[in-house]
Amino acid sequence: MTIEIYTDGACSGNPGIGGWGVVILINKDNPVFLNGGNKDTTNNQMELQATIQALKYFDNPSTLTLFTDSKYVKEGIQSWIENWKKNRWKTSAKKPVKNQELWLELDSQIARHTINWQWVKGHSGNKHNEKADYLARKFIEEKKL
């Protein structure tokens, strides 16, 4: 059985207060919703955190299809991370990789699972992506009060 996951991050100001949201579909009739955030963060950090928290939810190795609207996360995992590791966490421009701690944590979480990475266009009517966005923004709104 493949489990579907939708992740999203949001930020009010960049940097600013940020939130992340996750929708996990193990049983499509009973989705799992997760969210959280930080007071001083960036949108990219929240996108990474959403993905990390989604994967940490699972105690055992799982087969997952992970939908993200973040090209930063998807490209980072599928295209950039291996070279960053080879180059001691430097970019092709020889600069330190931003958010290295989060990338390291995500890399360790990914190693536990079999993941099919999918990009979904944000704010395009995909109900699960919209719910993940809602959960991320809900955290921001609750912390602003």
Structure tokens given for 85: 């590791």
Catalytic pick among 9, 18, 21, 37: 9
Annotated active-site residue 59? The verdict is no
Helix (H, G, I), strand (E, B) or coil at 15: coil
Contact of 49 with 84, CB cutoff 8 Å: no
Catalytic residue, from 82, 101, 123, 141: name it: 123
**Active-site entry in 8, 18, 21, 37:** 8
| Per-residue DSSP letter, 96 | B
- 107 as an active site residue: the answer is no
Q: Which residue in the list 18, 19, 21, 47 is annotated as catalytic? A: 47
Q: Assign 8 to helix, strand or coil.
A: strand
Tokens representing 23 are 């929708």
Point out the catalytic residue in the list 19, 69, 76, 128: 69
**75 in active site:** no
Catalytic residue selected from 18, 21, 37, 133: 133
The question of whether 40 is a catalytic residue gets the answer: no
Structure tokens at 128: 């699960």
**Which residue numbers are catalytic?**
8-9, 47, 69, 123, 133
